[in-house]
């Protein structure tokens, strides 16, 4: 008997990240070799030709797992029957743009998309927001989605997580799969807190391994504060500086891993989820935490100790999320 296909909706599908996402999803990198997909590509009218061109190329790949592709500029059509939504298209911050203007522009995108998800998505729908400001865009979509449970909405901090692992592999001269327990706390922005205090390398605490490599604990802590944390938080700017354009393939890869691990299950990664008050984060904020999944959605890993330094960094990022939420409220949107 033929396996039924999973409807995956991608917004901003004609953009750069969309182009790096589509072919890997159709090849089975996200949902595995046993789950065929139907792709729904949502674009604004100006982006339709780019998305249509990508759809032609998808046809030319003749992916066995790709059962159907539809390109549309209608959010209701795009989210009808959607089980996995990847919200990539967003309004970037223009020169001199104030935060309130940015949030208002994105509310005009993520509000209607949330409504369309509420109106027509499948009962098992799960959403990841990639388009920035991702955490608050996820909050906007979740709020507009009516009866869809808020915990179906997440935002991407897996790229930050992967960047943190990448920095440690270089500093400790180990492989990525030898590092466990890295966490990204807070907002997907420069205020995020990449945390290694629960991380291990080959079973040894990362802080001890750094201490051994750098000679003493003071140097290890200085490297974490002055090099590791800012480099992870500002890696996007570093990529733009070196590459001449923004990080695209690594962002698409992180989005694929976010969905793959949420669906297949994982003992530990990082994702922004709707807070239920964990670690004192105000309920309802979309905040990054260490999370696990048993295949039915991400849950915050609870019970971790955060020392005073860690807590101060985390709280600074949460304050930024509160300010974004309040700015949206002041606009009368939430
Ligand atoms: P990209 O595909 O490069 O990026 C899309 C979004 O992802 C941006 O908001 C960007 O935020 C964000 N992003 C998150 N992580 C990263 C990262 N690591 N590196 C780079 N970007 C990241 O943008 P394009 O301009 O190429 O494409 C966007 C497409 O979305 C366009 O085709 C446009 O037409 C479409 N669009 C669709 C909408 C809709 O479907 N309703 C609404 C708005 C746009 P940041 O800019 O902050 O880096």
Let me know: does 38 contact 8? Beta carbons within 8 Å: yes
Instruction: Give me ligand 1 centre to Cα 89, in Å.
Output: 4
Which position among 161, 188, 198, 258 bears the catalytic label?
A: 188
| 81-91: pLDDT as tens digits | 999 999 999 99
Nearest atom of ligand 1 to the alpha carbon of 19: 2
Q: Give the mean model confidence (pLDDT) for residues 36-60.
A: 98
Let me know: does 28 contact 259? Beta carbons within 8 Å: no
Confidence band (pLDDT; 50, 70, 90) for 1?
low
Residues in the chain: 334
**How many Å apart are CA 16 and CA 89, to the nearest integer?**
10
Q: Name the architecture of domain 158-326.
A: Alpha-Beta Complex (3.90)
Confidence band (pLDDT; 50, 70, 90) for 2?
low
Instruction: Give me ligand 1 centre to Cα 93, in Å.
Output: 11
* pTM higher than 0.75: yes
Instruction: Give me ligand 1 centre to Cα 218, in Å.
Output: 40
What residues have CB less than 8 Å from 7, skipping those under 6 apart?
A: 37, 38, 40, 81, 82, 83, 84, 122
Q: Is 157 in the pocket of ligand 1 (CB under 6 A)?
A: no
**How many Å apart are CA 305 and CA 308, to the nearest integer?**
10
What secondary structure letter does DSSP report for 266?
E
- Tell me the fold of 6-155: Rossmann fold (3.40.50)
Per-domain boundaries in the chain: 6-155, 158-326
CB atoms within 10 A of CB 46: 9
């Amino acid at each position: 008997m033929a396996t039924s296909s999973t409807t995956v909706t991608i917004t901003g599908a004609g953009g750069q990240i969309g182009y790096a996402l589509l072919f890997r999803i159709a090849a089975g990198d996200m949902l595995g070799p046993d789950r065929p997909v139907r792709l729904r590509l949502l674009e604004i009218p100006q982006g339709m030709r780019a998305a249509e061109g990508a759809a032609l190329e998808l046809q030319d790949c003749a992916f066995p797992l790709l059962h159907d592709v539809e390109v549309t500029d209608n959010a209701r059509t795009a989210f009808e029957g959607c089980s996995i939504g990847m919200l990539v298209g967003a309004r970037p911050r223009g020169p001199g743009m104030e935060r309130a203007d940015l949030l208002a522009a994105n509310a005009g995108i993520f509000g209607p998309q949330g409504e369309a998800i509420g109106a027509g998505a499948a009962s098992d729908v799960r959403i990841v927001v990639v388009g920035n400001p991702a955490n608050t865009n996820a909050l906007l979509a979740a709020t507009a989605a009516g009866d869809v449970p808020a915990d179906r909405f997440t935002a991407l901090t897996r790229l930050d997580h992967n960047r943190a692992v990448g920095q440690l592999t270089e500093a400790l001269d180990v492989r990525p799969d030898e590092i466990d327990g890295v966490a990204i706390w807070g907002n997907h922005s420069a205020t995020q807190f990449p945390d290694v205090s629960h991380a291990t390398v080959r079973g040894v605490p990362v802080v001890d391994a750094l201490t051994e490599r750098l000679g003493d604990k003071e140097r290890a802590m200085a490297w974490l504060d002055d090099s590791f944390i800012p480099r992870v938080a500002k890696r996007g700017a570093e990529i733009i500086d070196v590459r001449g354009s923004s990080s695209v393939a690594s962002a698409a890869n992180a989005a694929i891993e976010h969905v793959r691990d949420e669906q297949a299950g994982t003992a530990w990664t990082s994702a922004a989820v709707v807070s239920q008050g964990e670690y004192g984060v105000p309920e309802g904020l979309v905040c990054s935490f260490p999370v696990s999944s048993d295949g039915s959605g991400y849950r915050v890993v609870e019970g971790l100790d955060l020392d005073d330094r860690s807590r101060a960094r985390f709280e600074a990022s949460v304050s930024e999320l509160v300010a974004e939420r309040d700015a949206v409220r002041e606009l009368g949107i939430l």
